[in-house]
Amino acid sequence: MSKPTYRVPSMAEIAAQAWNGRTVVSTFAGCGGSSTGYRMAGFLVLWANEFVDAAREVYALNARQGTVVDGRDIRDIGATDVLTETGLEVGELVD
């Protein structure tokens, strides 16, 4: 059996993906691989945290405009910080 044809979408195609109505935040975001997957599935990534400078710089290059890219140590961040920085209310991140 042959493999199905697969083409890697461009960042422009990913950015054009229709929003599915759901939002996410990404902790330990690295260079943004999982966030790119969320975006490909139609999620809106509101906030991402990565404290490694080089990884955060790459993440920021590919993030959608408006995504908060936080460089603090995750141990110094609380849920209230994320809510404040994204403008979300308690319960809005969960479906």
pLDDT digits (tens, 9 = 90+) for 67-95: 999 999 999 999 999 999 999 999 887 65
Q: For the chain, how far is it from start to end, CA to CA, in angstroms?
A: 39
44 neighbors 17 (Cβ within 8 angstroms)? no
- Does any domain span residue 58? yes
Place of tokens 């490694």: 52
The stretch 35-50 carries a mean pLDDT of: 96
Place of tokens 């209310």: 89
Dihedral (Cα; 67, 72, 74, 78), 10-degree rounding? -80
Range of the domain at 49: 17-86
- Does any domain span residue 93? no
- Does any domain span residue 9? no
pLDDT at 39 (0 to 100): 95
The residue among 86, 40, 87, 53 whose CA lies nearest residue 67 is 86
- Does any domain span residue 92? no
pLDDT at 95 (0 to 100): 52
How many domains in the chain? 1
